[in-house]
Amino acid sequence: MTAQSQPIILTVSELTQAIKLTLETTFPRIWVRGEISNCKLQASGHLYFSLKDQHAQIACVCFRGDLQKVPIQPKDGDQVLLRAEMNIWPPKGNYQLVVRELSHVGIGDQLIKLELLKQKLQKAGYFSEERKRPIPKFPKRIGIVTSPTGAVIQDVLTILSRRMVSFHLILNPVRVQGEGADVEIAQAINQFNRYQLADVLIVCRGGGSFEDLAPFNSEIVAKAIFESNIPVVSAVGHETDFSVSDLVADLRAATPSAAAEIISHEQEELLAKLSKYRKNIKDCLQKQLKQVRLDLTKIAKHPLFQSTTYLLGSRMQLLDDIKENLDMAMKRQLLTCRQDLARYKKSIEAASPNNKILERRNYLAQLEKGVHYALTRTLKTKKLDLLAKNEALNARWQALFSLKKRTFASYRFAQQIPLLVQKEFLNKKRKLENLNAQLQLVDPKKILAKGYCILFAKKEERVISSISQVEVGQEVRLAFVDGQAEATIHKKVESLYPSPDKTLKNPP
């Protein structure tokens, strides 16, 4: 092989550098459109991602300085338009696009507007946590701003009816999507505040696309919620949906059903606590009654109540002993006196003077009288003492008998407690039934059952509440309590009761 035909040998670095110069000079500034995937934001602030279409993909990098100029952070799935430069990364030999400008395509423009609106409202203090008010624990009047024909209102009604015992629901029907829906929502919120119709408001709708949720991302709705004097709960879409109204509202619920559960949460907890307290009181009373019955059974078996001589037996025996001692003392005293008299008699007989005998006789008579008086007084004192002790024993017996009598009376009162509890339970049950009957009276279906109906515009699916909203030839739908019907408007009359001098011609 000659020197002229010998091939040029390049190193890897030389080949890579040659390719780098060729690509970068051939594609110095290009515009590329595609979908973002594998999006990763590094700690350095640089964003790495792939730009792909149906058939190919290319690596991209957006450095921190250029990324800060992008209004909305890109994410996987976004359709974007890039202004970039072709670049070769020699350490890995990969080619990539260095992004200088990035803008979203299609829905991306709406996302930019939404992000700018969020920034504006954030600066105005609409999202401030300090201004948000707590939701009432026991609201009596609940206002709802939503569509009257969707499943949302039925779900909310079902949950509130199941979890709350007394409330008044006011629905302000609006459109929740389409042009002009944001104005209707804002007006409904303002009407609730103007007339103070509710204690709390629920602004809600079901899930939908980004365009369907657009009314809840409007500035007019955000302003109405911000200026509302009534606490507002926002429940728009599903769990993953997040709208401007959710950020401004006093509380955000993941779904309309979750909003109804949050509002009724406190009352349900209170009812559960009352039920628990009632059970505890009942168990406590039953336990006390059981213990009282056991105590009364023990008391009834006590010897005191088995025999009346339990307390008086020893006293009666004591009285018998005292009487016996008195009798013996009196006999001994009489015996002594008799002995003394006999001795005196012998002395008198021995002395034999008549005067002395007479004197002794007088002395003996007085002595006998004194002895008799002393014995009588002693006997009387002993009898009085016995009577006092007997009365003291009777008083003590009466006090003890009254105490036991009150104890039995309290037992009879305890037997009446279950009857009183049952009576109070029946009163509460009748009150609950009356409240349920009052709730049934305000049911919208009851009104329809009386012969009323609701008129809807067939095309727009909206409620017609005024003759000014009706056009001749317009197709309408009538909602009755048991079904629907369609009709066509043939004639309009501005007054419900025409003047007597005017007659209707060509009645429909």
Taking Cα atoms as reference points, which of 344, 125, 114 lies closest to residue 211?
114
**Six token digits for residue 501:** 């001098």
* Angstrom distance (rounded) from CA 147 to CA 178: 12
| 363 Cβ contact list (under 8 Å, min separation 6) | none
Taking Cα atoms as reference points, which of 477, 475, 486, 487 lies closest to residue 454?
477
Handedness of CA 355, 358, 360, 366 (dihedral sign): negative
Q: What are phi and psi for residue 204, nearest 5 degrees?
A: -150, 165
Geometric angle at alpha carbon 113, from 110 and 114, rounded to 5°: 85
pLDDT at 495: 65
* Angstrom distance (rounded) from CA 261 to CA 201: 14
Sheet order of strands, 251-252 included:
168-173, 141-146, 200-205, 232-236, 251-252
pLDDT at 467: 82
Q: What are phi and psi for residue 48, nearest 5 degrees?
A: -115, 135
Is the separation of the CB atoms in 211 and 184 below 8 Å?
Answer: no
For the chain (508 residues), the mean pLDDT of every run of 10, in chain order, is 65 78 78 89 90 88 89 82 85 84 72 83 92 89 92 90 85 92 94 94 86 88 95 86 88 90 75 82 88 82 64 71 87 90 79 68 78 78 80 80 69 67 81 78 72 78 79 83 84 65 45
pLDDT at 273: 78
Is the separation of the CB atoms in 214 and 177 below 8 Å?
Answer: yes
pLDDT at 1: 46
* Angstrom distance (rounded) from CA 275 to CA 229: 35
Residues 161-213: tens digit of each pLDDT:
888 877 899 999 999 998 899 999 999 999 999 999 999 999 999 887 777 88
pLDDT at 505: 45
**Six token digits for residue 489:** 């408007």
pLDDT at 503: 45
How many helices (H) does the chain have, and how many strands (E)?
A: 13, 14
CA atoms within 13 A on the CB side of 507: 3
DSSP string, 374-428: HHHHHHHHHHHHHHHHHHHHHHHHHHHHHHHHHHHHHHHHHHHHHHHHHHHHHHH
Q: What are phi and psi for residue 400, nearest 5 degrees?
A: -65, -40
Q: Scan for tokens 């409904």, then name that residue.
A: 188
Per-residue three-class SS string for 459-501: CCCEECCCHHHCCCCCEEEEEECCEEEEEECCCCCCCCCCCCC
* Angstrom distance (rounded) from CA 204 to CA 199: 16
